[in-house]
Amino acid sequence: MKLIVRYGTVALAIVATAILVISPFATSFVEQWSRRDVELRSKLVFNSVRNEMSNLLAANATAQIGALFEQLALDERLLAIGFCDSNAVLRHSNKVMPADFSCQQVARSDQESFSTIQSAGRPTVAGSFPIPTDAGPGHLILLHDLTFAQERGAQARGWLMIALAIVALVGAALASLIALFIMRRWLQSVRSAIEEVKNGRRDRDEMVESPGVAGEIQRLIRNLDETRRLIDAAYTDWNPETLRRALASQLPNTEIIVVSNREPYIHNRGPNGILLQTPASGLVAAIEPVMRACGGTWIAHGSGSADREIVDAHDRIRVPPASPTYTLRRVWLSEEERDGYYYGFANEGLWPLCHIAFVRPRFRESDWDQYRAVNARFADAVVKEATRPDPIILVQDYHFALLPKMLRERLPEATIITFWHIPWPNSEVFSICPWKEEIISGLLGSTVLGFHTQFHCNNFIDTVDRFVQSRIDREHASITIGGHETFVRPYPISIEWPPAALAGQKPVRECRKSVRARLGLADDICLGIGIERFDYTKGIIDRMLSVDRLLTIHPEWKKSFVFLQIAAPTRSKLSAYIDLQAEAQALAEQINARHGSEGYKPILLLIEHYEPERVFELFRAADLCVVSSLHDGMNLVAKEFVASRDDECGVLILSSFAGASRELSEALIVNPYDSHAMSETLQRALYMPKVEQQARMQVMRNIVRARNVHRWAGQMLLEAAQLRKRHEIMRMTSQERSSAPAPSRSRIVKLAVTK
């Protein structure tokens, strides 16, 4: 009923609007049409009497003219008829000619003409037709009453209203019927959906009460829902505590084992005893805070000269040394193993293969053999450290491409999450590796395989597609080989927030002052900085060239801009690294000779390792930081610089070829190969107003704060928790099916395998 009232009201509104809009047009149309009708009649009358009138006027037959006029006036629409002479005097008329009529009121020309006048208070059309007489041209005047035209207009308006009302009412009735029909169908579907939900709930309630396997499955499904909710809410507030809580609730009693080549703490023997060193490694910077939060065991190559002196009988040591929370298990490698596995296959083969930095990869069979053997040795170590059959094993980086498969074979219940910290090239590039199939199938032993970006995930899937027989599900980004499914996912790595190295830092003003003083620079010098391992992928040469160009094009910066490059020695046995170091040193000298002067060197190149606290002090002292990687999986230096600037100042110049540029788009993004554009970007950074620096820095800091490393780890571990629960549900479901088929089983299987 309500619907009909609603539609009726709408229909009336439409009718009223239509009448308001259309009726003036309709009335005027009818009136025009009536007027033309009258004019036509006048012409007909005139044509029929024209000759007779001429004769009667010539004969001056006044009485006959009067009789003729009376006869013509019998036509009910003809109000009056008269004759105006050439002096505009009404000479003849019928009896009912209105007294107020005068010949001056009407147009009189040598053509027929029509005027609208008011005569006897009525609208009147006056037709004026020329008739020549001996005394000059006179006019026959025919007055027609126009009232009837108005009546016709009013009638037309009335009919129009009735017609529109009928159309609107019929339309409203039809629309109401259609709406009622649709609504009934919709209500039916809502009712059945509610019924379904009720039934579903009833099923589950029954399952909670049901004992044994069914009850257990129900518990797992509820738990799985919770994990999904946590993953979806993973955008806010990740910190060590939320990570710990997420693990405690979603992966209770789980053992976490990390495997990487580089260890988080290196003990070296120095002239004054044992020195503790934190390596310059993005991998270590990211995983260490996670391990501090979660606990567990980290298995890594013991590379320090004093490492053996510190460990216990099982090659373990609790770390961090100041307040231990997890175990570092060291694996010892012979020089031969290191040369083949680490320097050879990993760093002369896979490293240049995966980075597009145009250094030729070297593939030697002997290196490959060592690589395989060392992967197997780490597999032994993992199996030995595992205290349960189903640990979560986090395999790190390109040093261990074969390890996931080895572990899958030996610990089939383990959840293996592998993270590839460097880029994955396109399949064409990867095809040059002589052991590509082994590497791919090694990695596909993982449960989840992570890369920093979707782009690298796609490259990997395409490579698998091209070289290995497998089933690829692109919708779920998974690859199945030999019955085992691996999920390929992007997880952009990050740093902890706030970074540990920020604690205890002096205010920025003081950092600026003390760093400049230590470097022998004036207080007001503009300082640019680059800090990383001395690696050819970092674009160190290219950034020096851009400084050279800046000082050439904008010499005003001489003596007022200094670029400080800290380069930590790395992989120094390899010729590509030795060559790079020599080239960079020579270039720095040339640039300093070209633009330097007494007491002024535009480039300060310091080849040494800086501990994180010192790195952060330098970041805080700088006006700008250059991260110009030629190719980089992520590059955490960019994120560390942002995190170090709690004053929200400083400019980040960031290569578009570093994964970090996908997230930190408020940096000044550059192509490191374009030294002209790089130098102009330096110039822009040096002149950037503080307000702009702050606006950019605020956005970047918010991003790094929210997408911190605890979120990175949390997402991977929760994904692992989800997969574990799903497998468990499927395992129990098939167990239940084989013992006693239950009516709701198909429903459970569906729930378990979706998403």
Which positions touch ligand G6P (CB under 6 A)?
Answer: 262, 281-283, 397, 421-422, 533, 570-571
Asked if residue 498 has a cis previous peptide bond (ω within 30° of 0), the answer is: yes
- Which lies closer to ligand G6P via its Cβ, residue 207 or residue 493? 493
Report the C-alpha gap between 593 and 601 in whole angstroms.
8
Helix axis angle, 454-467 relative to 436-443, nearest 10°? 120
**What's at 92, amino acid-wise?**
H
> What does the longest C-alpha to C-alpha distance in the chain come to?
153
| Nearest distance in Å: CB 663, ligand G6P | 17
DSSP annotation of 556 reads G
46 — alpha (psi -120 to 50), left (phi > 0) or beta? alpha
Burial category of 112 from C-beta neighbours within 10 Å (exposed 0-12, middle 13-18, buried 19 and up)? middle
Shortest separation between residue 722's beta carbon and ligand G6P, angstroms: 27
CB of 222 to ligand G6P, least distance (A): 39
Residue nearest ligand G6P (C-beta atom): 281
Q: Which is nearer to ligand G6P, 561 or 577 (CB)?
A: 577
Least Å from the CB of residue 276 to ligand G6P: 17
**Token pair recorded at residue 628:** 């110009």
Q: Cα–Cα distance between 276 and 285 in angstroms, integer?
A: 15
Q: To 5 degrees, how large is the angle CA 325–CA 274–CA 337?
A: 80
Least distance in Å: CB of 363 to ligand G6P? 18
Measured from the CB atom, the residue of 42 and 570 that comes closer to ligand G6P is 570
Tell me the CB-side half-sphere exposure of residue 149, using CA atoms within 13 A: 22
Q: How far is the CB of 397 from ligand G6P (least distance, A)?
A: 4
Minimal distance in Å, beta carbon 634 to ligand G6P?
Answer: 9
Dihedral of alpha carbons 363, 364, 365, 366, sign: negative
Nearer to ligand G6P, 46 or 534 (CB): 534
Shortest CB 641 distance to ligand G6P, Å: 16
Q: What's the CA gap between 377 and 380, in Å, rounded?
A: 5
Smallest separation (angstroms) from ligand G6P to the CB of 265: 13
| Residue 159 CB coordination number (10 Å) | 11
One-letter identity of residue 667: A
**Least Å from the CB of residue 248 to ligand G6P:** 29
Spatial distance between the Cα atoms of 724 and 448, rounded to a whole number of angstroms: 11
**Region class of 331: left (phi > 0), else alpha (psi between -120 and 50), else beta:** beta
Residue 69 or 345: which CB sits closer to ligand G6P?
Answer: 345
* CA–CA gap between residue 615 and residue 621 (Å, rounded): 10
Say which amino acid occupies 473.
D
Tokens of 432: 């040059």
In whole angstroms, the minimum distance from the beta carbon of 259 to ligand G6P comes to: 12
Shortest Å distance, C-beta 419 to ligand G6P: 10
Strand partners, 563: 528, 603
654, 685 in Cβ contact below 8 A?
no
Q: Minimum distance from CB of 262 to ligand G6P (Å)?
A: 4
Q: Which is nearer to ligand G6P, 451 or 561 (CB)?
A: 451
Dihedral of the alpha carbons of 691, 693, 695, 700, in degrees to the nearest 10: -170
65/90 Cα distance (integer angstroms):
13
**For residues 659 and 576, is the Cβ–Cβ distance under 8 A?**
no
- Residue with smaller CB distance to ligand G6P, 34 or 570: 570
Give the H/E segment covering residue 92: strand 90-93
Q: Which amino acid appears at position 635 of this protein?
A: N
Measured from the CB atom, the residue of 282 and 499 that comes closer to ligand G6P is 282
* DSSP sequence for 61-85: -HHHHHHHHHHHTTSTTEEEEEEE-
**CA-based torsion, 647, 648, 654, 656: positive or negative:** positive
Residue 88 φ then ψ, to 5°: 65, 35
Q: Which amino acid is it at 303?
A: S
Q: Which is nearer to ligand G6P, 162 or 578 (CB)?
A: 578
Provide the token pair at 736: 């239940």
CA distance 479 to 4: 58
Give the amino acid at 52.
E
Q: How many residues can be counted in the chain?
A: 755
- What lies within 8 Å, CB to CB, of 662 at 6+ separation is 453, 492
Least distance between ligand G6P and beta carbon 630 (Å): 14
Q: Between 397 and 617, whose beta carbon lies closer to ligand G6P?
A: 397
Nearer to ligand G6P, 92 or 571 (CB): 571
Q: Cα–Cα distance between 151 and 154 in angstroms, integer?
A: 5
Q: How far is the CB of 551 from ligand G6P (least distance, A)?
A: 31
- CB nearer ligand G6P, residue 239 or residue 537: 537
Give the nearer residue to ligand G6P in terms of CB position, either 533 or 701: 533
Q: Which is nearer to ligand G6P, 114 or 451 (CB)?
A: 451
Tokens, residue 401: 């491409």
Q: Considering the complex, what minimum distance in angstroms separates the CB of residue 375 from ligand G6P?
A: 15
C-beta of 262 vs 725, nearer to ligand G6P: 262
Q: Computed from CA positions of residues 100, 102, 105, 107, in that sequence, does the dihedral angle turn out positive or negative?
A: positive
The distance of closest approach from Cβ of residue 399 to ligand G6P in the complex, given in angstroms and rounded to an integer, is: 7
The nearest distance, CB 525 to ligand G6P, in angstroms, is 31
Residue 372 or 399: the one with the smaller Cβ distance to ligand G6P is: 399
Distance of alpha carbon 578 from the chain centroid: 42
Measured in whole angstroms, how far is the alpha carbon of residue 352 from the centre of its chain? 32
Nearest Cα neighbor of 581 from 528, 548, 536, 537 is 536
Q: Whose Cβ is closer to ligand G6P: residue 251's or residue 403's?
A: 403
